[in-house]
Amino acid sequence: MIETFEEVLEAVTAAAIFIPLVMDMGGNVGTQSTTIFARGLAWNHINVRQFFPYLLREASIGAIIGVLLGATAGVIAYFWQGVPNGIPQLGLAVGLALAVVITLGAVLGAILPWVMLKLGFDHAPGADPFITTIKDFTGLWVYFTLVSWLVGVEVEF
């Protein structure tokens, strides 16, 4: 995945600093969301047949956390690496990517255990690896696409 965006990293080396942040935060939120699902299921707080309200709540919470952390990290990225390096758009890319990845992590953390349960698999150990894989690929793609678009670096797929 990163090979696809080598031009972006060469043009905006400061973008590499925020890769772990974008990748880790979505995974942390996704893992927490699966834990909440497992606990809610065990305590009969989640009705598997009426899953949509639970999913909507998790997506809303993920979006709120994503916007708050994205705004915070975006401002820090803007002043710490963006402005001093002449790429103030980096702050916007970091902030938007975090908001999207954290929301995605929360949604995946709610959906994947439910899907695994519906398919007859144990959701507790199985959901996290899928969440991490999907979120990592998607998160990197979103982040580098935003950086390349906002900074103006052409990427050939």
CATH classification of the domain holding 56: 1.10.357.20
User: Which residues, in sequence order, are CB contacts of 19 under 8 Å at separation 6+?
Assistant: 140, 143
6 within some domain:
no
d(CA 109, CA 90): 28
What is the domain range of residue 53?
Answer: 17-151
| Band of pLDDT at residue 38, cut at 50, 70 and 90 | confident
Pick from 82, 100, 99: nearest CA to 91: 82
Buried b (16+ CB within 10 A) or exposed e, 107-146: bbbbbbbbbbbeeeeebbebbbebbbebbbebbbebbbbb
36 within some domain:
yes
11 within some domain:
no
The per-residue pLDDT for range 142-156, each reduced to its tens digit, is 999 998 898 877 777
Secondary element (H or E) of residue 147: helix 123-151
| Domain count within the chain | 1
22 within some domain:
yes
- pTM greater than 0.95 (yes/no): no
Q: Which residue has the higher pLDDT, 5 or 76?
A: 76
d(CA 128, CA 14): 30
List C-alpha distances in Å: 149 to 71, 141, 142, 144: 19, 12, 10, 8
84 within some domain:
yes
